[in-house]
């Protein structure tokens, strides 16, 4: 709870976590200043905040551009008084392996996620230290603690800002400064980060981006991989209900994935380990049924087009065996064997998706 009225500055505040912060701080009686690169969304967010009686101002800013951030700061300092709460929240997401990531992918993601934080600190922190007041909130991610595969660019950006936040916290404590630092490390949250490409500058877009008709499907890989990795972490830590909530939130947003074997398997495993065998068996049965169906579809395609066999992984014909083996290991709690089978399950998941 904030003890005095503050000016709350939020980058990336037109949607998602930033917008939620705006409403939370605004309802506590603070002045809200939202900075966002997307002007239309910014106008809508400001309108919604004002309809709730919140004093809100929107300013277009590109956090990856130092001049833009300085202009943003100057307008805020001329119109609003300290103390300031600075939420460096703007972020974008991109999936893909490190070997497949283009240099432009790195420049875009690090430009927003990392340099956006650096520029924000560079422009606001000296003033806050001089006034010896305020608080800085930096949005990192659970990906700042873990290293999910196929999210290397995003992981690197979130590890970096987490380290910046922790280092800054220690440095301010050594100075006995009244400026505070917090870092947010959320897991999967229903935001627009999956659709970050809508705001990607053309100059940072490779020529072959979205050249193929099905390339739009690549946008789902980032969030799906984050979901499954995050749920693995939750389940391993015993947070079964949180894992289920994350899985069902994802399916609410992407209902077409309700027939994805890896998604259903994680639901079954969560129910099983949480002590709900009835629901667990229901989802395990669905996993087996879908696996059988995928095998039949693949075999039918192979009969019509023998070349399909050349594209199939050697392990695909063993999918039923592996699925059943996984279920048995879950039921009998053979941890080492289960983990070996799970690795095979993860690799198979990609092929289930591509052959549906």
Spatial distance between the Cα atoms of 272 and 344, rounded to a whole number of angstroms: 20
83: which DSSP letter?
P
154 is catalytic: yes
Which of 118, 123, 102 has its CA nearest to residue 200? 102
Within 8 A by CB and 6+ apart from 333, the residues are none
Distance CA 188, CA 197 (A): 18
Q: How far is CA 127 from the centre of its chain?
A: 31
| One-character DSSP codes across 16-31 | HHHHHHHHHHHHTT-E
CB atoms within 10 A of CB 31: 21
Q: List the catalytic residue out of 154, 265, 283, 284.
A: 154
* Beta sheet of 180-184, edge-to-edge order: 56-60, 31-36, 7-11, 84-88, 135-139, 180-184
Short-list 146, 106, 140, 290, CA closest to 227: 146
The count of residues in the chain is: 356
Residue 196 CB neighbour total at 10 angstroms:
19
Catalytic positions: 154
């Amino acid at each position: 709870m904030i003890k005095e009225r503050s000016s709350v500055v939020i980058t990336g505040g037109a949607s998602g976590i930033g917008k939620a912060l705006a409403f939370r701080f605004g309802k506590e009686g603070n002045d809200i200043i939202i900075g966002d690169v997307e002007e239309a969304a910014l106008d809508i967010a400001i309108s919604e905040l004002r309809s709730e009686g919140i004093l809100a101002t929107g300013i277009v800013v590109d956090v990856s551009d130092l001049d833009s951030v300085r202009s943003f700061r100057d307008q805020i300092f001329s119109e609003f008084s300290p103390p300031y709460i600075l939420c460096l929240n703007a972020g974008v997401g991109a999936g893909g392996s490190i070997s497949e990531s283009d240099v432009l992918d790195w420049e875009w993601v690090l430009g927003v996620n990392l340099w956006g934080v650096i520029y924000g600190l560079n422009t606001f922190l000296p003033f806050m230290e001089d006034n010896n007041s305020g608080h800085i909130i930096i949005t990192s991610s659970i990906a700042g603690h873990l290293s999910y595969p196929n999210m290397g660019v995003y992981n690197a950006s979130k590890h970096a800002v987490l380290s910046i936040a922790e280092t800054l916290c220690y440095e301010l404590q050594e100075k006995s400064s009244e400026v505070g630092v917090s870092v947010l490390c959320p897991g999967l949250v229903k935001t627009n980060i999956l659709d970050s490409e809508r705001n990607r500058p053309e100059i940072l877009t490779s020529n072959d981006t979205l050249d193929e008709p099905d390339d739009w499907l690549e946008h789902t890989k980032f969030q799906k991989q984050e979901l499954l990795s995050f749920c693995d972490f939750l389940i391993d830590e015993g947070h079964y209900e949180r894992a289920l909530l994350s899985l069902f939130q994802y399916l609410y947003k992407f209902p077409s994935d309700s027939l994805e074997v890896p998604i259903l398997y994680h639901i079954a495993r969560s129910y099983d380990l949480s002590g709900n065998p009835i629901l667990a068996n229901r989802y395990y049965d669905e996993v087996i049924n879908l696996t059988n169906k995928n095998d039949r579809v693949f075999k039918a395609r192979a009969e019509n087009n023998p070349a399909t066999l050349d594209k199939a992984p050697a392990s695909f014909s063993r999918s039923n065996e592996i699925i059943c083996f996984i279920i048995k290991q879950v039921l009998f709690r053979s941890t080492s064997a289960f983990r070996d089978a799970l690795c095979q399950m993860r690799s198979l998941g990609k092929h289930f998706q591509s052959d549906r």
